[in-house]
Amino acid sequence: MQNSVKGMFGSLPTLSSLLKRDTVNMEAKVVKAIRERGVGNILKALESSLKGLGEATIDVLSGLSVGRHVMIMGPVGVGKTTLAEEIANILALDDPPYIEVACHSHMTATELTGDIDIAVALQAGLDHPLAYIPGPLVLSHGRLLIMDEINRLNPYSQASLLQALQEHYVFIRGFRIRSDFLMIATSNPAEYSGVYELSEALADRMKVVEIHYPDRELLKAILEWKANLTLSHIGVKVPSMLTDVLTNFVTLISQDGMIEVSPSIRASIYALANTMARAWIERREPTLGDLKREVIANMAHVIRGNFSSETEKRDYLTRKFDEAVVISNRLNRR
Ligand SMILES: Nc1ncnc2c1ncn2[C@@H]1O[C@H](COP(=O)(O)OP(=O)(O)OP(=O)(O)O)[C@@H](O)[C@H]1O
Ligand SMILES: [Mg+2]
């Protein structure tokens, strides 16, 4: 990616070259990439970083191949951003294959479109490469645009994105720059904090692909794989008993109706990895007590539900952890 980014910025486009850009048929580009790589190979390539998201991938690809923007929606840490980036990397529609925006509530419309620097324009002319530095909506012409956590975008930025999506032009102080891109957005469901409601017009232009929390078996396989991967440079392996208890613990919580936000896969991977790293530093074997300590310390601020105090939340986690140990013992005795 390094070289290509250099390539893109090494010769910054001038405003007049941007004004002459040709139309790109994005859906044809996507279909060509799928044909050339083959769906089987795309899914296989994806399995090297994500497990169990084959169906979601096909949903994303089918949307893109008819020119529809896609929004991957799901709870915290289920692989939304990784899925968007991996699909973009595997399709490799251009070089670089995608432009990514980490959306936030204070983002301005000009951060998305880029703006003319009046001082440079007055001194060196509008066509000086530094008179206009293109924003992501302009740079994504011919590529995928990843709008990560799109529901953090405030209504003003949503409006400028919508204009680019529906008109395929980005307007900069009256200049009209062609921009053809397909967007993969990610978002958390509306009940999460710090999010804006997406405007109806914007939501209507995206196909929604939902990712759910993995079931017990899949979760265990992911935790085993990723925790050991995280520890590979230390050279220790997580005992399967620890993964088993953590999987039961997370599954118990995610199935509990009173919990609004369950522990994420990311937090679970690190709970296992931290437990192992600590035991390794202290030159001893890890225990269930170590895992319990990690889990309660790290997950108390992640989960959300109807708790009246922090103590109540910690007591809840302690109870669920003990229950998970009992379940693991029972299952292992069978
Ligand atoms: N299905 C999966 N297979 C393998 N790893 C996964 C899976 N889902 C999540 N992970 C792991 O969890 C981590 C978090 O993934 P990612 O950041 O893509 O999730 P996200 O849904 O975008 O999270 P957030 O809601 O916090 O933005 C990744 O590093 C990945 O290793
Ligand atoms: Mg994410």
Tell me how far apart the alpha carbons of residues 123 and 153 are, in angstroms, rounded to a whole number. 34
The arithmetic mean of pLDDT across residues 218-236, rounded, is 97
User: Is residue 70 classed as helix, strand or coil in its secondary structure?
Assistant: strand
The arithmetic mean of pLDDT across residues 28-57, rounded, is 97
Q: Which are the contacts of 251, defined by CB distance < 8 A and separation ≥ 6?
A: 215, 216, 219
Grade residue 194 by pLDDT with cuts at 50, 70 and 90: low
Q: What is the pLDDT of residue 268?
A: 95
Tell me how far apart the alpha carbons of residues 293 and 295 are, in angstroms, rounded to a whole number. 6
- Does residue 6 surpass a pLDDT of 60? no
Grade residue 63 by pLDDT with cuts at 50, 70 and 90: very high
Q: For residue 186, which atom of ligand 1 is closest to its CA?
A: 22
Query: Residues near ligand 1 with C-beta < 6 Å?
Result: 50-53, 76-82, 186, 188, 222, 226, 265-266
Q: How far is the CA of 149 from the centre of ligand 2 (A)?
A: 7
- Does residue 150 surpass a pLDDT of 80? yes
Q: For residue 52, which atom of ligand 1 is closest to its CA?
A: 1
Grade residue 240 by pLDDT with cuts at 50, 70 and 90: very high
Each residue's pLDDT tens digit, 16-38? 899 999 999 999 999 999 999 99
Q: What is the pLDDT of residue 261?
A: 86
* Pairing state between β 144-148 and 182-187: parallel
Report the mean per-residue pLDDT for the chain.
92
Sole residue written with tokens 């220790």: 236
Is the bond leading into 134 cis (omega within 30 degrees of zero)? Answer: no
Fold of 2-210: Rossmann fold (3.40.50)
C-beta separation of 47 from 88 below 8 A: no
The arithmetic mean of pLDDT across residues 264-271, rounded, is 94
Q: For residue 76, which atom of ligand 1 is closest to its CA?
A: 25
Tell me how far apart the alpha carbons of residues 222 and 49 are, in angstroms, rounded to a whole number. 10
Kindly identify the ligand whose nearest atom is closest to the C-alpha of 230. Answer: 1
Q: pTM of the prediction?
A: 0.92
Kindly identify the ligand whose nearest atom is closest to the C-alpha of 189. Answer: 1
Q: Which of 48, 78, 83 to mutate to test the pocket of ligand 1 (most atoms within 8 A of CB)?
A: 78
Per domain, the residue ranges of the chain are: 2-210, 216-333
